[in-house]
Amino acid sequence: MTKQATLGPIDPSLNGPLNPQNPQVPQNPSARIPVSVESIKGYFALAKDDLKIENENELTQILLSLSEKVHPLVLGDVYRSRTQIQMLARKLLSKQIENKEKIEKIISFLTSDSGSHDYTIYRNEAKNELGLNIEKPNEELYSIIKETFNDLKAELELMTPFDPNLILGVNQNAHYSCRRGLVESIHGGTEVFISEGTIIKHQQQIPQQPPLPPLQRTIIDDNRTFEGWKHEK
C-alpha cells in the first residue's frame, strides 16, 4: 500500500429492477435506489439492540413494514450477498493469515463494526490494528503504480465532471456512454462498469399569478438505458 492507498469496509449494494423506485427521479420510473446490505442489517440491529424490541409480534411487524418498502426477493438477495461477501473475504484472508479467529475478527470489522461504507482505512491502521500483512512499495514499484493510475485516470476521465450541458451542446438530445469502473487482468481481459443513456432537454412552463406571464424553465432528463458491467477482451 502506498501512502495514498486506502482500504474500505465490505458493504455491497444491490441494484435491480425490484429495488425501490428513486423518488428524486419521478419522471423516470425505472430509476431505482441501491439497497445496502449492511443498512438492512442495521435496521434490525436498531430495533433489537437500541430500541430493545424483543416481542415476536413486534419484530414480525417490523419485517412486514420493511418488506412493504423493499421487495422480499431483494431482502433475500441481501442475505445471499452478505453470506457471499463474507465467504470471499474469508478465502482471501486465509491466503495470508492462518489464525481463524483473527480472520473472523477482521471480517466482522469490515462488514459491520466499521459502521459505514465511507470509513477509510489507511495502511497504518490496516497493519497495526487490523493485523493485515501490509507491504510498502519501493521506488520502482511506486513509479509503476503511479503510471498505472495516470492511465486509469485518463481512461475514466476522472478530472472531467459529468456535465449534461456539455454533452448536449446545441442539440436537444444526445446519447452518452460513461466508463465508471475497471477491473483488469492480463489473462481475463477487462470488465468495465458502464452507464449509458440519453439526455433530453426540454422547456417547462411554470404558471404565475396573472397578469405575470408563465416562467420558462429548462429541464434536462437523464434516461438511463443501461448500467452494469461489460466484458472487453
> pLDDT tens, 70-91?
887 777 777 777 788 889 889 9
**Which of 10, 148, 183, 3 has the alpha carbon at shortest distance from 92?**
10
Q: Are residues 130 and 171 in the same domain?
A: no
How many domains in the chain? 2
Are 120 and 153 found together in one domain? no
SS3 207: coil
Q: 68: which residues sit within 8 A by CB, 6+ positions away?
A: none
**Domain containing residue 126:** 1-136
Cell digits of residue 109:
470489522
Of 136, 162, 197, the last residue of a domain is 136
C-alpha span between 126 and 133 (Å, rounded): 8
- Residue 109 CA to residue 5 CA, distance in Å, equals 19
How far is Cα 36 from Cα 14, in angstroms, rounded to an integer?
A: 6
Co-location of 154 and 50 in the same domain: no
Residues of the chain with confidence (pLDDT) below 50: none
63 and 169 assigned to the same domain: no
Together in a domain, 121 and 160 = no
Residues 164 and 60 in one domain: no
Kindly state whether residues 151 and 101 are assigned to the same domain: no
Q: Clarify whether residues 114 and 167 are in a common domain.
A: no
What value does the CA radius of gyration of the chain take, rounded to a whole number of Å? 23
Cis peptide bond upstream of 210, omega within 30: no
Alpha-carbon distance of 159 to 6, in angstroms, equals 20
pLDDT digits (tens, 9 = 90+) for 168-177: 999 999 999 9
| pLDDT value of residue 115 | 61
DSSP 206: E
Do 71 and 186 lie in one domain? The reply is no
